[in-house]
Chain A
Amino acid sequence: MSTLIKFTKHFISPMRSVRSWVIPLLLLALWQYSSSQNAGHAYAFVPLQNVYNAFIELLKTGELLVNTWGSLKKALLGFIFGGAAGLALGAFMAYSKIANALISPIFNAIRQVPLLGLTPLIALWLGNGESAKIFIIALASFYPLVINTYQGLSHHESKYQELANMYQFSGWREFRRIRLPQALPYILTGINLAVPFTWITTTASELLFNAGAGLGGVMMKAEANAAMDILLVCALTVTLLGIVMTALVRALSTHLLRWRPRHAA
């Protein structure tokens, strides 16, 4: 999977080739053409200049910034809560075999339910305000981090373990010097999986309960008003932010893992 989101391979190199621009430009031209054609579909295929105007308009009124910030704040809070809880539970399960035996069957059973399938249940428990949304977003970060932290901390090579025993490392020192460096690649994999998943869950949760500031709420309102231009502006914002986040986390993890031999990453 790691080869799939290589930014340069998939974006920079195709952009250099003239041929790869043919189809996107053709599609845009077709879109523009159908927007001028019949009035029946004019609400769906809006002219491209309208999208640009809507973008400027949303930027001027501050609507875009407020709602983008609303979405980002929820995603960040969910990521912090869910990520921290995931790290804690994963570590707990890795260190205590009893906890692992007790928790893992329940964890795996709950994980089978599609995340957004839990929304009606959570809505009944927590209402449909911000806390319900943040709970679902937190779950999106929680799952991958539990799994990867557990794997990282419970998988250890015996030679390092023997070394720690020989030097009579204390528990903390053993964790700091041996377990953590071994677990770090796994945890970072978990974060790499969690970030895009958290971001799409943020959008989805805003679509499902459209109250409060957030890009998803704006999109649902635009859909009700048949305002395709606003919809496209929001869609582009969500997509671009997702790409930027994924790239940032990827860069951060390669930076943190720079001590490792290249082939392992």
Chain B
Amino acid sequence: MKTLSKTADAELTVGGFSWRSADLFKKINVYWLLSCASPLILFFAWYTACRLQLFSAQILVPPEKVWLSFLNLLQTGELYLHLKDSLLRLFSGFTVGAAAAIAFGIVYATNRHVKDYFSLIFNVLYQIPIFVLIPIFILIFGIGETFKILLIIKACFFPVALATIDAVEGVPKQYMELSQIYQLKLKNRVKYIILPSVIPPLISSLRIALGRAWLILVAVELLAAGTGIGQMMELGRQILRLDVVMVGVFITGMIGFILDKILRQVEQRFVQYKHQ
């Protein structure tokens, strides 16, 4: 009986908000309507400002022109090409950086010698701002793919490694001792004690790392790239195509939002896992 009610509770709070109809009605009030209306008001203001030609076409392009240029970029396959290259860079750098960081973090937190030898260099490298590395890496590696992916790896490595170290060091000692007393098998020890306390902070750090990596990738592509969504915007700026730049801004925003949202969902799931 008890377990049944527990799962029911969990279902109701998936994603941090509940779906009971009563709550849904409670949410619909004046403020809720206003917050739905405000983007529409902004959009309408944008549209009318263009209609009345309050600003020159170089400052403000009408929304329909942005939409048409989005469709055009979609049809010619240009957008797909840029996005594919950007996302490929993002995910390859993220995967390598995060995997290396988790491995390093676990070894660092559990092995006294590794910690002794690496603590200073790790903290010094962590302090170097990533943008400072851009010109240095360009000089060493050239403006190919290597330097971009290395920057993404650097951007992902440190937040994930720090979170892993903190998480592994934060595994409750008394539970570990208890598991030794009860002579729990390693598999069960990992499953019931280590994973529940390590996974939630790890997922949060992955989310932060991915957001940061996206910010840096867009900046790097603005600066030096042949393809990619940042390069699309930079070219648009150079030929004064504000509509292309706007499409780029929308797309980068959407991608940032979607990546964050997905990992937030994962995070929510694992927070529940922790409570169980």
Partner-B contacts on A (CB < 8 A)? 3-4, 10-11, 13-15, 17, 19-24, 27, 43-44, 97-98, 100-106, 109-110, 112-121, 123-125, 199-200, 203-204, 207-208, 216, 219-220, 222-223, 226, 228, 231-232, 234-235, 238-239, 242-243
Contacts and interface: CB of A to CB of B under 8 A. Distances in A.
22 contacts: A4-B166, A101-B31, A101-B34, A101-B35, A102-B41, A103-B38, A112-B253, A113-B249, A114-B252, A115-B215, A116-B215, A117-B222, A117-B233, A120-B233, A124-B59, A124-B237, A200-B129, A208-B222, A219-B132, A219-B135, A223-B138, A238-B129
Interface stretch (B15-23, B96-104, B120-128, B186-194): B120-128
B129 A242 contact: yes
Given A14-B120, A101-B31, A200-B130, A222 B135 contact: yes
A124 B139 contact: no
Main SS of chain B's interface residues?
helix
Closest 8 A/B residue pairs (Cβ): A20-B120, A14-B119, A113-B253, A101-B34, A223-B135, A120-B237, A116-B219, A114-B215
A23 B39 contact: no
Contacts of B133: 235
Nearest to A242: B129
Contacts of B222: 116-117, 119-120, 208
A198 to B, nearest CB: 12
A20 B121 contact: yes
Interface string B153-168: 0000000001000100
Interface string B253-270: 110110010000000000
Contacts of A20: 116-121
A204 B221 CA distance: 12
Contacts of A114: 214-215, 218-219, 252-253, 256
Interface of B: 30-32, 34-39, 41-42, 58-59, 113, 116-121, 123-124, 126-136, 138-140, 162, 166, 214-215, 218-219, 222-223, 230, 233-234, 236-237, 240, 242, 245-246, 248-249, 252-254, 256-257, 260
Given A112-B253, A114-B214, A120-B236, A125 B135 contact: no
Contacts of A204: 131, 219
A87 B35 CA distance: 21
A12 B115 CA distance: 15
B129 A98 contact: no
Nearest to B140: A44
